[in-house]
Amino acid sequence: MITFFRKNQKAVLLTVLVVLNLSVFALAGEMKNADSTKQNRIEIRDFAFNPKTITVKSGQKITWINRDEEPHTVVSVEKQFKKSSALDTDQEFTITAGVPGTYTYFCSVHPKMTGTIVVEK
């Protein structure tokens, strides 16, 4: 029995390596999938939009979430999208990116808070 294992040690090792490799590929595939369906999320934290600038494709959704204890809003400077209501803690606001271009926005409660959305085709 021991001899059998010794003889087959290489084969077992190879099998383990192949299985590990497959899992790595599966993981990479999943990560790729996650990327193609990635959500464009902007966190509002410490009186700032994070990321401050985001690039999305036209038709994609963009979601803000307020992580502060203060209410914040999301208002397009040039009214390129509907403005949000005052977002409470952990409340979200979602828009769909429209025509390509650069949209700037701010928080109407704290106008120094600004952000930019770059919409690509």
How many helices (H) and strands (E) are present in the chain, helices listed first?
1, 8
**Residue 107 interacts with Cu ion (CB under 5 A)?**
yes
In the complex, the smallest distance separating the C-beta of residue 114 from Cu ion, rounded to whole angstroms, is: 10
Count of residues that bind Cu ion according to CB under 5 A: 5
In the complex, the smallest distance separating the C-beta of residue 99 from Cu ion, rounded to whole angstroms, is: 26
Q: Which is nearer to Cu ion, 41 or 110 (CB)?
A: 110
- Type of residue numbered 23: S
* Contact yes or no for 102/115 (Cβ under 8 A): no
**Residue 72 interacts with Cu ion (CB under 5 A)?**
yes
**Residue 109 interacts with Cu ion (CB under 5 A)?**
yes
Q: How far is the first Cα of the chain from the last one, in angstroms, to the nearest whole number?
A: 65
Nearest to 72 by CA among 41, 51, 47, 99: 47
Q: Which is nearer to Cu ion, 97 or 113 (CB)?
A: 113
Question: Segment near Cu ion (CB under 5 A), from 5-13, 32-40, 82-90, 100-108?
Answer: 100-108
Query: Based on the number of CB atoms within 10 Å of its own CB, is 46 exposed (0-12), middle (13-18) or buried (19 or more)?
Result: exposed
**Interface residue with Cu ion, options 91, 94, 110, 114 (CB under 5 A):** 110
* Contact yes or no for 72/66 (Cβ under 8 A): yes
Interacting residues toward Cu ion by CB under 5 A: 72, 107, 109-110, 113
